[in-house]
């Protein structure tokens, strides 16, 4: 008989990616443990895709698979929170439809959980299917996230459902960086978590920066919300506050990918907010502004623009 305390609820948001859902399903069917349930939340996919999705699960009906259909288009974070509401068990993992797990993914996570457990070792799959180790760190996990160094991914975390709900679930006001903000919040609020140096059993599909899908105004807006939220809600010391300029560098990276130099207005707005919220000194603010203008008027190269910003702000 299955022990409910060891069963994992795997939550997958879905939008127009039936082949991805089939891939995840195949991975789950190959698991060497049956201690899982799968909650798929379809985010109002196209009619034909939704019909195919429903038909697929009608033909592949399992008692441990739940398909939730949203009545309107939302976001991935909203879908994940909905999935939590429908999860039957107290251990949670979030898995995207384009990711891959090995046969022992579930059994490796059949462990005791305090607030959450991070399985820090995973591989990144690029657009060509080639993999490489993900960035990692041995300590100062909070510092890394405060500096915009993303050392683990959403699916790396095994959550205790009670704790996840207690800290407020995903922040659906954020348009980007939701998983990053959640990791920061969890690291600051938890008194009982651990990070495991595990074998790789999860492969995360990473896509290169696409300014069309993730425009600079959206990225800067998300950064502005995030740093304001941290300023208003977290008690960061001066050392920690100095790390946060890593998110300014994130804005800079997206601006460098933009073909429109007029997008500088979004980066300047973010820069002013970093200074206003005291993440930057006034001299640091002026230096960043000067580098921006030099780049706008083609007085420095793209490579030098990034290297200068990386040196001073990353």
Residues 157 and 286 in one domain: no
Q: Give the CATH number for residue 97.
A: 3.90.550.10
Q: Which of 173, 36, 191 is nearest to 182 (CA)?
A: 173
From 205, 231, 262, the end of a domain falls on 205
In a domain, 211, yes or no: no
In a domain, 169, yes or no: yes
- Looking at every residue in the chain, the average pLDDT score rounds to 93
In a domain, 144, yes or no: yes
Residues 24 and 169 in one domain: yes
In a domain, 292, yes or no: yes
Query: What's the confidence (pLDDT) of residue 145?
Result: 96
297-309: per-residue pLDDT in tens? 999 999 999 999 9
15-55: per-residue pLDDT in tens? 999 999 999 999 999 999 999 999 999 999 999 999 999 99
In a domain, 12, yes or no: yes
pTM: 0.92
77-114: per-residue pLDDT in tens? 999 999 999 999 999 999 999 999 999 999 999 999 99
Residues 197 and 52 in one domain: yes
From 159, 176, 205, the end of a domain falls on 205
Confidence of residue 1 (pLDDT cuts 50, 70, 90): very low
For the stretch 61-65, contacts whose Cβ atoms lie closer than 8 Å and that sit 24 or more positions apart, written own/partner, are: 64/34, 64/36, 64/37, 64/38, 65/37, 65/38, 65/40
Domain that includes residue 266, residue range = 216-313
Give per-residue burial for 84-105: e unless 16+ CB within 10 Å, then b. Answer: beebebbbbbbbbbbbbbbeeb
Confidence of residue 214 (pLDDT cuts 50, 70, 90): confident
Instruction: Please report how the helices 282-296 and 302-313 are oriented relative to each other, as an axis angle in degrees rounded to 10.
Output: 170
Name the residue with higher pLDDT: 135 or 292: 292
Residues 68 and 131 in one domain: yes
Query: What's the confidence (pLDDT) of residue 4?
Result: 62
pLDDT at 130 over 50: yes
Residues 82 and 8 in one domain: yes
In a domain, 304, yes or no: yes
Residues 236 and 293 in one domain: yes
In a domain, 210, yes or no: no
Q: Which of 147, 213, 136, 131 is nearest to 180 (CA)?
A: 147
Residues 102 and 178 in one domain: yes
Average pLDDT (61-71) is: 94
Residues 160 and 239 in one domain: no
Looking at the chain, the whole-number percentage of residues with pLDDT higher than 90 is 85
Residues 187 and 292 in one domain: no
From 153, 186, 205, the end of a domain falls on 205
Average pLDDT (223-244) is: 95
Confidence of residue 206 (pLDDT cuts 50, 70, 90): confident
Residues 170 and 249 in one domain: no
Residues 233 and 148 in one domain: no
Query: What's the confidence (pLDDT) of residue 139?
Result: 82
Query: Do 182 and 115 touch, CB atoms closer than 8 A?
Result: no
Please state the domain count of the chain: 2
**Residues belonging to the chain:** 314
Query: What's the confidence (pLDDT) of residue 103?
Result: 97
CA angle 208, 210, 214 (to 5 degrees): 120
Confidence of residue 2 (pLDDT cuts 50, 70, 90): low
């Amino acid at each position: 008989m299955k022990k409910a305390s060891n069963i994992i609820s795997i939550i997958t948001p879905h939008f127009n990616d039936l082949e991805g859902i089939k891939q995840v399903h195949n991975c789950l069917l190959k698991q060497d443990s049956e201690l899982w349930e799968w909650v798929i939340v379809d985010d109002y996919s196209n009619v034909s895709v939704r019909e195919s999705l429903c038909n697929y699960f009608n033909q592949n009906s399992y008692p441990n698979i739940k398909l939730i259909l949203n009545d309107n288009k939302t976001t991935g974070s909203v879908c994940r929170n909905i999935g939590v509401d429908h999860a039957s068990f107290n251990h949670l993992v979030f898995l995207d439809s384009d990711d891959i797990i090995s046969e022992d993914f579930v059994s490796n996570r059949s462990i005791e959980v305090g607030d959450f457990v991070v399985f820090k070792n995973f591989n990144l799959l690029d657009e060509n299917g080639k993999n490489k180790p993900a960035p990692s760190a041995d300590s100062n996990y909070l510092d890394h996230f405060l500096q915009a160094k993303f050392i683990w991914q959403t699916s790396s975390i095994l959550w205790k459902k009670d704790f996840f709900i207690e800290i407020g679930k995903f922040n659906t006001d954020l348009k980007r960086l939701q998983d990053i903000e959640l990791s920061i919040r969890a690291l600051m609020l938890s008194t009982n978590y651990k990070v495991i140096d595990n074998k790789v059993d999860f492969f995360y599909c990473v896509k290169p920066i696409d300014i069309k899908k993730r425009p600079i105004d959206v990225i800067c807006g998300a950064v502005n919300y995030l740093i304001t939220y941290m300023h208003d809600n977290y008690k960061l010391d001066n050392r920690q506050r100095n790390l946060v300029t890593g998110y300014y560098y994130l804005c800079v990276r997206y601006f460098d990918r933009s073909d429109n130099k007029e997008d500088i207005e979004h980066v300047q707005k973010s820069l002013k907010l970093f200074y206003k919220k005291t993440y930057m000194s006034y001299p640091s603010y002026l230096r960043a502004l000067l580098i921006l203008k030099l780049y706008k008027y083609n007085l420095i190269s793209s490579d030098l623009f990034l290297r200068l910003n990386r040196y001073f702000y990353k």
